[in-house]
Amino acid sequence: MAHAPLGYDALIRKFGLRVPPLRSTSALADKTGVLSTHTGPDGTTRTVYPRNRYRGGDTTVDHLTFALKKEQLDLTVLAALFEHEEAVETVRAWLAATPSSRYARLSAFYAKWLAGAQFDYKLPTGAPRILALDEAEYVTGPVTTDLQLGIQNNHLGPAAFCPLVRRTGKLASLIAADLPGRVSAAIKRLEPELLARAVDYLYLAETRSTYSIEHEVPDNQRVAKFRRLLEYAGEPGRLTEERLCEWQNEIISGLRAEYAFRDTQNWLSRGGRMRNIADYIPPPPEQLDAMMDGIATLAELAPAQAANPIVIAACVSFGFVFAHPFYDGNGRLHRFLIHHLLRQAGVTPEGVVLPVSARMLKQIDTYAALLKSYSAPRTALLNYALDSDSDTILIKSPQPDWLYASFDATALCEFVFECIEQCVEQDLAQEIQYLRAYDASVTRLESWLDLRQSRLSNLIDLIVQNHGELSKRKRKLFEDVTDDELARIESVVRDEFAEYLDLHANA
C-alpha cells in the first residue's frame, strides 16, 4: 500500500535535502482508518495517519505545520531546508498572509536563527509570545526573546551547538530521582576516614578505566597526572581554548601536546590491513571556533543551575568528542568534562569522584553505539578519499555547519544518568562495604596473626578476589603462613565478607 510522506520526510524529499536519516517518520494512508505506528528492527518508527486524521494538503506550509505540531523537532532538517530561498520565500508569504499564526512565526524564527533569513515583519499588537520548545516535552534552557517574531527561545544552546533533549518517561524518572541529592546523602553518611579511603579507590578506578577505553595502559606518571587533573576538576571559569589545551597537555604524552585547536581535517579509523575507511569525519577546522564557543556557552548553565546539571554535563561532554578539536586526547577529555561540570554544579563535592568511565567500560557496547549513532550517519553523507596509507584525507562534498551543530541527545543523557546512578548505588556502596569488611577482618586477625600490614592487606584482597579462599597459584607467596593459619584466615575473611562475596557471586 502506497503512503504519502508527511512532515520532515516530505520536506526532505521535496527539496532533496542531504541530511542524516530520520529516526521517526510520518506518512499518510490512502484510506480512512486508525492511527498506527510501526517500529523497524533498527528502532526507527513510522507513524501512518489515516485520511480522516489529516486535514492538511501537500504544500511546504502544510508539511512545516505538521512537522512543528506533530513531530519531534529536528533542527538539522530545518537548517538544511532554510538554505533554500524557495522555502524562505514560502515562509515570508505565509507570515504576510497570517501574521499571528503560531507555526508561521515559529518557521520564520527557525529560518532566521538557523539560516540567517531576514523578514520584513512586525508582530501584531496583542499577539502572544510563543515558547520555541514545549517545556513539558523538552529539557529547556534560559529564555531569550526574538522581539520581532515574539518567539521565546528556550533552547539549551546557540545555533552553532544546540542539542535537543526530550523528556521521555525514562529521562523524567531519572531526573525525578534526584541523583545530586542521593550523591550528597551517600557521602554524608560516611565517616571522613572511610570516605577518604574509598575515594582513593574511586580515583584509581576512574583513571585506569578512561585509559582502558582508549586501549591504553598508562605508566604511573600519567596515572598520577590524570588523578591530579580529576582532583582539580570543577574550578570556575569558561571552557576556553587555552584551558582545554592545558588539560590536553596533562593527559597525553609530551610529544603529542597541542597548543591550539586543530587546523586541518582529522578523522577516526579503526586499524586493519587495506582498511582506508573513515569511521568518523568531524567538523572541518573552520567550524570549530563557533561550535566550541557554543559548547562553552552550554557548559556555563551547569554552575549557574540554569538547567539540569547532569543533562548539561552529558551534552557538553559528548558535544566535545563530536567536535574532536584535538588530534589526540579527545576521548579522555570528553569523559573528564563530565566530572568537571558535575563538580562545578555541586553534584559531586570537592575531593570526590564517581567512576563514570569505569561504568562506561562495563557497558562499552552501549557507549560505542551511542557514539556511532552520531558519527555514522554524518560520515555516510560525505564523499571523501583517503590515500593508500591513510595519511591524508580529501573531503569532496560540503560539510555544512548544521550537519554537526544539532543532535538528539536524549539517549546520551539517559546513559550518563544511569552511569552516575550505578556509581552511587553500586560502586561507592560496594567499596564502602569492602572497606568495612576489611577493617573487621583485620581487627580479628591481628589479635593472633603476626603478619606485616601490607602483606595482610594483600592476602585478604587475594582471598576476596578468589571468592573466599587463596588460590593454589598464589599460595607460594605466603609460605610463612601455615595451612592451619591460612584456613583460619580464610574462615574469618569469608565470615566478614559474606555479603560482599554473595553480591559479587550473583553479579
pLDDT in tens, 312-329: 999 999 999 999 999 999
Q: Give me the amino acid identity at 21.
A: P
Do residues 156 and 139 lie in contact, with contact meaning Cβ atoms separated by under 8 Å? yes
305: left (phi over 0), alpha (psi -120 to 50) or beta: left
Rounded Cα distance, 339 and 348, in Å: 8
Share of the chain above pLDDT 70, in %: 97
Report the distance separating Cα 163 and Cα 155, nearest Å. 8
What residue has cell string 531546508? 81
pLDDT tens-digit series, residues 278-325: 999 999 999 999 999 999 999 999 999 999 999 999 999 999 999 999
283 with 267: CB under 8 angstroms?
no
- SS3 assignment for 55-122: CCCCCHHHHHHHHHHHCCCCHHHHHHHCCCHHHHHHHHHHHHHCCCCHHHHHHHHHHHHHHCCCCCCC
- Structure confidence by residue, pLDDT tens digits, 225-255: 899 999 999 999 999 999 999 999 998 877 8
Average pLDDT over residues 154-168: 98
Q: What's the grid cell of residue 469?
A: 579462599
pLDDT tens, residue by residue, 388-441: 666 789 999 999 999 999 999 999 999 999 999 999 999 999 999 999 999 999
pLDDT by residue (tens digit) across 484-504?
Answer: 999 999 999 999 999 999 987
Q: Label residue 499 left, alpha or beta by phi (over 0 means left) and psi (-120 to 50 means alpha).
A: alpha
DSSP-derived secondary structure letter, 476: G
Domain boundaries, the chain: 4-117, 182-410, 448-505
Cell 529536528 sits at which residue?
74
* Nearest one of 304, 305, 300, 295 to 409, comparing CA atoms: 295
Q: Which fold has domain 182-410?
A: Fic-like fold (1.10.3290)
Q: How does residue 30 score in pLDDT terms, banded at 50, 70 and 90?
A: confident
Q: Say if CB 354 and CB 347 are below 8 A apart.
A: no
Helices (H), 349-497: 356-362, 364-380, 402-405, 410-422, 429-446, 453-465, 472-475, 483-496
> Per-residue confidence at 216, pLDDT binned at 50, 70, 90?
confident
Q: Hey, is 290 helix, strand or coil?
A: helix
Specify whether the CB–CB gap between 378 and 403 falls below 8 A: yes
CB under 8 Å to 267, separation ≥6 — which residues?
278, 279, 280, 281, 282, 384, 386, 393
Whole-number pLDDT of residue 272: 54
Q: What pLDDT does 255 receive?
A: 80
Q: Which long-range contacts (CB under 8 A, 24 or more apart) does 195-202 make?
A: 195/352, 197/435, 198/428, 198/431, 198/432, 198/435, 199/351, 199/352, 199/353, 201/431, 202/352, 202/353, 202/354, 202/355, 202/427, 202/428, 202/431
CA atoms within 13 A on the CB side of 231: 12
- Residues 61, 64: Cα–Cα separation, whole Å: 5
Distance in angstroms (rounded) separating the CA atoms of residues 190 and 263: 48
Query: What value does the mean pLDDT take over residues 37-41?
Result: 89
